[in-house]
Structure 1
Amino acid sequence: MADYDYDLFVIGAGSGGVRAARVSAAYGAKVAIAEEHRVGGTCVIRGCVPKKLLVYGAHFAEDLRDARRFGWDVPADCAFDWVTLRDNVLADVDRLNKAYTATLDNHGVEIVHTRATVTGGNEVTLDDGRTVTARHILIATGARPMVPSCPGNEHGITSNEAFHLDALPHRILIAGAGYIANEFAGIFNAFGSKVTLINRTDVILRGYDESIRDRLLQISMTKGIDFRFNAEFRGIERQDDGSLSVAMTNHDPVVVDCVMFATGRLPNTEGLGLENAGIQVDDKGAIPVDEDSRTTCPSIHAVGDVTNRVQLTPVAIREGQAFADTVFGNKPTRVDYGCIPSAVFSDPPMAGVGMTEGEAKNKLGSVKVYLSDFRPMKNVLANRNERALYKMVCDGDTGRVVGLHMIGPEAPEILQAAAVAVKAGLTKDAFDQTVALHPSMAEELVLMR
């Protein structure tokens, strides 16, 4: 067999790449991983982790107001300092970056802090001029925010830059209607910014259950977020006072202090040299792979958001683990993409697993739907009318729960445990036979009739 510099060379030190590198090294493989930015990837450095910390910070806005009804003497002019939160969040990102780096070091993975490109089926060229060979190459370069092509798009930011703003914008326009757009809309609105969200269609959070996303839209509008639908960018112009005038179709222009693009994400495949190994990307720039994450080049695999599968951090981690188990652990493993739970950390958060009501009707025909539309106990005492909504979708013939969807306080925390039941194929009767945990919001899952 040919001699190689490494058993495995990973390009991209995000969640999927780090897991694959660490586990492969634990199996005894000689592993190197190249990262041109920071170890940790999108989720840890500029994505779900720092964003969740901003969500926690934003929740205090309502919690402090509610606290007065619970007997706490909270000053009316309770001030918020964006810079304090921003710097504390970035400090925690630094901590995680060091933790991920230490994990790789402790497992003997060589970290190469430079860009790497594929120059052959078993060859990688580094920006420092070196060429190295590897028995296996793993592409785990993730994805990046997409920026619309319109005049003045250089004046906008993406979620990457949102964590580094010098000051909180008084007025912000967010383009998009997916989870990133709705999460940041809730964050900035809670911090006191005037938020306008525009979308080129009239649907938010496509793919989520219609009842749940409609409830989020209703609550978001009540909280003061301005939605403009069927609106596409015409252009962005910077005014003499530094503000931005945004022109769009079907609506009057909007003057804001910041424009944020949240219109989707593109796989990071440009300039990777995949063509040198005979690999062609699809029409969205993603790398097609088989069930074992193998590309059309047998020695090159790909995991995570750079592929044409599910763009979720836990999925990338599962794919990285399965790759290492299969290639170096002598434990052939494939990822099961059925029943993947997901959440939107909006205000309030929503979560779901399995089929939506529409999907179930199209696939199963006979469907039974159970709802619980209620006002959480905390909201009652706080004099807030905001209501939670839980939906259970069942196979009409067998009673098997095929989908659970909810919006309300702590919905993602509740859904994670409930997703086990859906994955296991439990029936509505199994939920009915479970004693309620009272008083809790989660008990609504076993009380629906």
Structure 2
Amino acid sequence: MVFDYDLFVIGGGSGGVRAARVAAQGGAKVALAEEDRYGGTCVIRGCVPKKLMVFASEYPGHIADARAYGWQVEPGRFDWDAFKTKLHGELDRLEGVYRNLLKNSGVEAYDARATLEDAHTVKLSTGESFTAKHILLATGGRPVRPDLPGADEGLVSNDIFHMDTLPKSMLIIGGGYIACEFAGILNGLGVEVTQFYRGAQILRGFDEEARGLIADEMIASGIHLHLGTDIKRVEQGGDGYKVTGTNGSEHTFEKIFFATGRTPNTDGMGLEEAGVKLGRKGEVVVDEYSQTSVPSIYAIGDVTDRVNLTPVAIREGMAFVETVFNGNPTPVDHELIPTAIFTQPEFGTIGLSEEEAQEQEPIEVYATSFKPMQQAFAGRNDRVLMKLIVSQETRKVLGCHIVAPGAGEMIQLAGIAVKMGATKEDFDRTVAVHPTMSEEIVTMKAPVRSG
């Protein structure tokens, strides 16, 4: 059979675009369809605009520190309109970059919604249909609202970047990284932030000591964090939303933001009709080579709900091209992935938490918490944490957890050592860079506890 394309990619996010252009550069005839904006969640409504908002929200602290260091500066008023205009200008620029990457690689791009007709046929919302030897699903995910009366009136993460004005008060529902990151952002921008989380501690699944410190620092910064609390009832009124919590509290908030999870974008795509197996949450089920239950169809990124991180989706896309077009079967390595969470303070982590490691083998824990020099001199009480989880038997560093300004930058480099299988003694042999916060990673000589 003669196909219209060697590869048809559905989804123009980071993973889909990378796979499409690399395959095309290798000589394949490739098409890509995207129903929304090119760049996907990360570039358009996730990592990039969020990180820019983090930067914006940190300036009040920088200004206060500058005064403590002798600078005669005064804080001004944050101009949301000016920031938002520049933010969307940057997102437009980045979308243009993604479009040009596809064009310059020879990928035919269709601005349309794509669905499957069968294992080799894609139908577009324009009415066109195309056949392809291989189809790659890279449709990502989307935020979901809880099944609650009035929830449709609340914001989700996609909406935050489009608010007409900054609200005076906001209730954030959730305790994951998106909820905690935006709590810090909005608090820094002057919004009175209240956060409800039904669990016992925020950032479930991460190291207990690290997430405890982050929660303490969030509260110290002025965020009203209520743990073990969920929404019981929401009533819309003239001044906003009257919320009754499961803890019996009643408050009115100008806006409510639901950060209560994400779901894969698989609805209405004809996947199951084409024979593609979906999981319990609607995710596309794939093997270690990202192949679905239909041999000609593959899937990468958040739509597979494996490790939902942009760099992982890009790696999955590259491994797909190696496997399918370069004759080099390449499974995706999902072990020991360094991660940064842009809470305030920032959190960088790789490997096992103390709790996970304890369940696997005897360990030693090396940890230190202290006031960093820059903030201490300014009179702030901020604390940071440096923590290593070490195997008693092999001496390998099983986990590294950093809560500190710049933790994301630090964990990228520490991640190389942990991925290589470095031992605690390898860390000890490394000369400290002084005076830095990160030097504590290589100067902790005695374990604080074993388990």
Taking structure 2 as the reference length, what is the TM-score of the superposition?
0.97
Of 263, 267, 270, the residue aligned with 1:273 is: 270
2:434 paired with 1:435 = no
1:298 maps to which residue? Answer: 295
Task: Report the counterpart of residue 251 of structure 1 in structure 2.
Answer: 248
Residue in 2 aligned with 1:29? 28
TM alignment of 1:49-198, pairs within 5 A: 49-75=48-74, 77-198=75-196
Tell me the SS of whatever aligns to 2:439: helix
1:375 aligns with 371
Contact 2:397-2:421 at 8 Å conserved across structures: yes
Does the Cα contact within 8 Å between 1:294 and 1:301 map onto a contact in 2? yes
Aligned partners of 2:293 and 2:226: how far apart in 1?
Answer: 43
Match of 2:224 in 1: 226
Give 1:134 shift. 0.4
Where has structure 1 moved over 6 Å in runs of 4 or more? none
Report the residue type matching 2:292 in the other structure.
T
Cα distance, 1:308 vs. partner?
Answer: 3.2
Q: Does 1:328 align with 2:325?
A: yes
**Residue equivalent to 2:5:** 6
2:388 maps to 1:392: yes
- Give the aligned partner of residue 443 of structure 2: 447
Work out the CA distance in 2 between the residues paired with 1:172 and 1:419. Answer: 36
* Alpha-carbon shift at residue 281 of structure 1 (Å): 1.1
Partner amino acid, structure 2, of 1:388: V
Q: Structure 2: give runs of 5+ residues left out of the alignment.
A: 446-451
Listed one character per residue, the Cα deviations across residues 185-217 of structure 1 (whole Å, up to 9, x for unaligned) are 000011111101111222210111000000000
CA-atom RMSD, angstroms?
1.0
Structure 2 residue identity aligned to 1:262: A
- Equivalent pair of 1:138/1:300 in contact (CA under 8 Å): yes
Q: 1:424 aligns with which of 420, 426, 442?
A: 420
Q: How many residues get paired?
A: 445
Deviation (angstroms), 1:381: 1.1
The answer for unaligned runs of 5 or more in structure 1 is none
Deviation at 1:68, TM superposition (A): 0.5
1:266/1:284 contact within 8 Å kept: yes
The 8 Å contact of residues 354 and 389 in structure 2, kept in 1 or not, is answered as yes
Contact 2:10 2:34 in 1 (8 A): yes
- Secondary structure at 1:305 match in 2: helix
CA distance in 2, matches of 1:362, 1:180: 28
Tell me how far 1:439 sits from its aligned partner.
1.0
Q: Is the Cα–Cα contact under 8 Å of residues 42 and 48 in structure 2 kept in the other structure?
A: yes
- Deviation per CA, 1:395-422: give whole Å up to 9, x if none: 0122111100010110110010000000
TM-superposed CA distance for 1:231, in Å, is 2.4
Q: Distance in 2 between matches of 1:240 and 1:92?
A: 35
User: CA-to-partner distance for each residue in 1:220-242, whole Å, 9 max, x for gaps?
Assistant: 1111111122223233222123x
* Contact kept in structure 1, 2:57 and 2:185, CA below 8 Å: yes
Deviations 1:162-207 (A, max 9, x none): 0011111110001100000000000001111110111122221011
Q: Tell me, what secondary structure is at the counterpart of 1:251? A: coil
Query: For 1:173 and 1:252, how far apart are their aligned partners in 2?
Result: 13
CA contact (8 A) 1:151 1:234 kept: no
Alpha-carbon separation, structure 2, partners of 1:176 and 1:390:
26
TM-score (normalizing by structure 1)? 0.98
CA contact (8 A) 1:171 1:194 kept: yes
Identity %: 48
Q: In the alignment, is the contact (CA less than 8 A) between 1:153 and 1:235 conserved in 2?
A: no
- Do the aligned partners of 2:337 and 2:351 also contact (CA within 8 Å) in 1? yes
2:349 counterpart (352, 359, 363): 352
Is residue 57–residue 189 contact of structure 2 (8 Å, CA) maintained in 1?
Answer: yes
Query: Residue 442 of structure 1: SS of its match in structure 2?
Result: coil
1:224 counterpart letter in structure 2: G
Q: Which residue identity lines up with residue 328 of structure 2 in the other structure?
A: K
